[in-house]
Amino acid sequence: MEAAPGKLRSLLKKFLDELFLKRLIPFIKYNSEKEAEKVKKRDDKATKRTWPESEKDKAIKVVLVERRKKEEEKRKLEEEEKQKQAEIAAKEAAEKLVEEENKSPEEAKQPNEDEHKRKS
């Protein structure tokens, strides 16, 4: 008796899916959890480990600290310069307003009259 070519394959697949894999799934999950715990413990041990600092490490840290300080000083100077510029601009604007308010109405009209004469 010869079976159709697809029938043997379907029987084998059915066996693997229904009988074999169903029995192995709990075992696989159990092992994967254990492995995950082992890996986690191993990683925890690795992160807890500390090494003494070498002379190069110390020198690098010193250089980095100096760079940070210089950058902070530059930033502070730039901020102070911006504040000074803003104050100067505000003073100039205030002075212009005061000058315009202090002008007498006659002085304010004269430029308008001069402009009127120029247009004519």
CA atoms of 110 and 103, how far apart (whole Å) = 11
Domain count, the chain: 2
* Residues 61 and 120 placed together within one structural domain of the fold: yes
* Residues 25 and 66 placed together within one structural domain of the fold: no
* Residues 66 and 120 placed together within one structural domain of the fold: yes
Residue type (1 letter), 18: E
- pLDDT score, position 1: 43
pTM of the predicted model as reported, rounded to 2 decimal places: 0.38
pLDDT in tens, 102-112: 875 555 555 55
Q: Name 98's Cβ contacts closer than 8 Å, sequence gap at least 6.
A: none
pLDDT mean values, one per 10 residues, the chain (120 residues): 67 79 66 66 64 89 96 96 95 89 64 58
